[in-house]
Every structure is written in structure tokens, then in C-alpha cells.
Amino acid sequence: MSYENSILNFLHQRVSFPRLVSPAPEGEQLKGILKSALRAPDHKVLRPGRYLIVESDARTKLGELFAQAAVAANPDCGEAKIEKCKKMPFRAPMILVAVSKNIDHPKVPYFEQEQCVAAGLSYILLALQAEGFGGMWRTGDMAVDSVVKRGLGISEHESLVGFLYIGTPEGDAKRIVDPVLEDSFSFWTGQ
């Protein structure tokens, strides 16, 4: 396989898409994309991830939950903040909420399980792009908010790893300057 036609070339061109519109993947295509998350490195095969798919009218309820969280965090946040929170789930036709179950295991600490779920989200982003869709992984205040977690049925010992906004990219992909490999990688020589 030549470099121009390889998986590496595809990986080197992956980008996030902040503007997403309908349609989102559905049916067997969606199942195939989601299945990719289950191939992420998973020490002891604990399957620590669970995922909530939010679409259609459930996005309105998620927006209301975000608004409740904003008011609980700051009762004086103002109407503009409340409205902004209500609109957040409408950035895309589908949102995948990724949760780490944080299973007690003597050899697999919680942080490793969270990394497994995060790797799974990365695989989903790649699968989305391979199928002609796009995604945007978001965290922020809502990912650590107790009101949001409780409203989504996420228990206290579980972690919300992120919100993956999913849909069809609108507009051109953003251009990213090629990174300089040496800025991030070096050889350790033991000294």
C-alpha cells in the first residue's frame, strides 16, 4: 500500500468539524461506526464505556439540563447564558455522551478505563470521517457538572468523558498547520 493511499495518510488529515448539520449516521451505518469504539485498547477487556445517544427531541431536554446546571452553578447567570445553554445541543443532529463506568479492578485503575473510553471516542471520530460524516468532541463545564451527570443518569463513581457532536460537516474542513513532529516527540536515551 503506497503512502498516498494509506491509512496513515487518512489519519494525518483528520480534523474536527465544529459546524454539523443533518443527516447524522443511522441504522447499520451508525452501528458500524459505534462498534469501532469497542476496539480501543482495553486492559482486561472490562468494556468500561457506556454511551448515551441523544438526538431529536432529547436534545431539547439536554439543553434544559444544561440550563439547570448553569443556574445551579450561578443563580445570577442571566437569561443570555440560560438561552445559550439551551441551544448547545443543537450544534449537531446527534450527540454521543461517553461515560466511563469506572469498574473496580485490582489491575486496571479508573484513569486507565477513562483512557480506554477516550480512545474509543477517537476511533469513532475516525470512523465518522471515513464514512463521510464529522464530529466535534466537547467537554467543558457541563462534562463535570453534578446536575448534568445526575440528569443523564451517571452515577457518582462514573466519569463523563465527553460529548461527541455528530453530523454532516457544513462548509470546508478547517485547515490545520502540519505539526512539527520534533515538538512532541524525542528519544529518551536513559540519561
The per-residue pLDDT for range 75-97, each reduced to its tens digit, is 999 999 999 999 999 999 999 99
Residue 4 placed within a domain: no
Residue 183 placed within a domain: no
Residue 68 placed within a domain: no
Global pTM value: 0.93
Work out how many domains the chain is built from and give that number: 1
Residue 180, pLDDT > 60, answer: yes
Residue 165 placed within a domain: yes
Residue 121 structural domain: 18-56+90-170
Residue 69 placed within a domain: no
Check residue 3 and give its pLDDT.
54
Residue 180 placed within a domain: no
DSSP letter string over 130-166? HTT-EEEEE-SHHHH-HHHHHHTT--TTSEEEEEEEE
- Can you give the CATH number for the domain in which 116 is found? 3.40.109.10
Residue 133 placed within a domain: yes
Check residue 153 and give its pLDDT.
99
